[in-house]
Structure formats: structure tokens, C-alpha cells
Amino acid sequence: MWKRSDVAEGQDYQLVLVQRRDGTRTCVLCEVGQCEGVEEQMFVTAVVPRELLVKGDLFGIAKAVKLTDGSSFGVEAHGVWLTPEECAAFERNVTWYEMPWLNGLAPVLPPK
């Protein structure tokens, strides 16, 4: 996760949604047009409003910002990003083991 100090005044940013080989999902902050080299990149958001980045409001970002392909994404209760298909499955109360996980890999949730 990015830090407030990473967000420079007057600079536009996007988030890269990353899924590591172990299932860990993170968001990487990058300047607009500089997101190409992020390892294990799954998706990239459109430009994110600065006030949401400064707050670190991933839930607000998911509500307000689309991915570059025009689709939406979600965030579950632990702050882990989800694909639209995963969000729809959660709404249908699909069990954890029957979820249509991206790349067939369930996300690693942070410890309680």
C-alpha cells in the first residue's frame, strides 16, 4: 500500500492491482503512464483522485474509479481488491471454495 507522502502535489496517479504467485493482492501507486513495469500486474485503474489517495481510501477508490478497460473492481472487508466476477459471486453467496478466483488462485487475506 502506498503512503500519503508518496502522493506528490500536482502529479496524477493510477493504481496497479497486483496478484503475487502466492495469492497476495496489493495495490501499487504509479505516476500516469509509468505503470508498465510493475511485476505481476493484473489490472490498472484510471487516474485516481488525489484526495482518495491521500486518505488511503481503497474502498472509496473502488467506488469512484474504473479500471482502464472500463470495468469496475471491488474491495472486500479486509481491504483486498476483487475482480467484478469475484464481487458478483460474493453477492450470490458463493462459497470460498467455489469462487471464480482470478487465475484460479484465492487471495491471501491479512491476519486478524
- DSSP sequence for 10-48: T--EEEEEEE-TTS-EEEEEEETT--TT-TTEEEEBSPB
pLDDT confidence band for 87 (50 / 70 / 90)? very high
**Phi/psi of residue 71, each to 5°?**
-85, 165
Domains of the chain: total = 1
- Percent of the chain predicted with pLDDT > 90: 88
Percent of the chain with pLDDT over 70: 99
Asked, for residue 63, whether it belongs to a domain, the answer is yes
Q: What are phi and psi of 28, to 5 degrees?
A: -115, 130
Q: How confident is the model at residue 109 (pLDDT cuts 50, 70, 90)?
A: confident
Q: Tell me if 85 is assigned to some domain.
A: yes
Residue 10 has pLDDT above 80, yes or no: yes
Q: Is residue 54 part of a domain?
A: yes
pLDDT at 2 > cutoff 90: no
| Mean of the per-residue pLDDT values of the chain | 94
Q: According to the model, what pLDDT value does residue 97 have? A: 93
Confidence of residue 82 (pLDDT cuts 50, 70, 90): very high
Range of the domain at 94: 4-104
How many CA within 13 A on the CB side of residue 19? 15
pLDDT at 26: 94
What DSSP element (H or E) covers 51? helix 50-55
On whether residue 112 sits in a domain, the answer given is no
Measured between alpha carbons, how far is 87 from 99 in angstroms, rounded to an integer? 10
Q: What is the pLDDT of residue 76?
A: 92
Q: Note whether residue 111 is domain-resident.
A: no
Whether 109 is covered by a domain: the verdict is no
36-58 residue pLDDT tens: 989 999 999 999 999 999 999 99
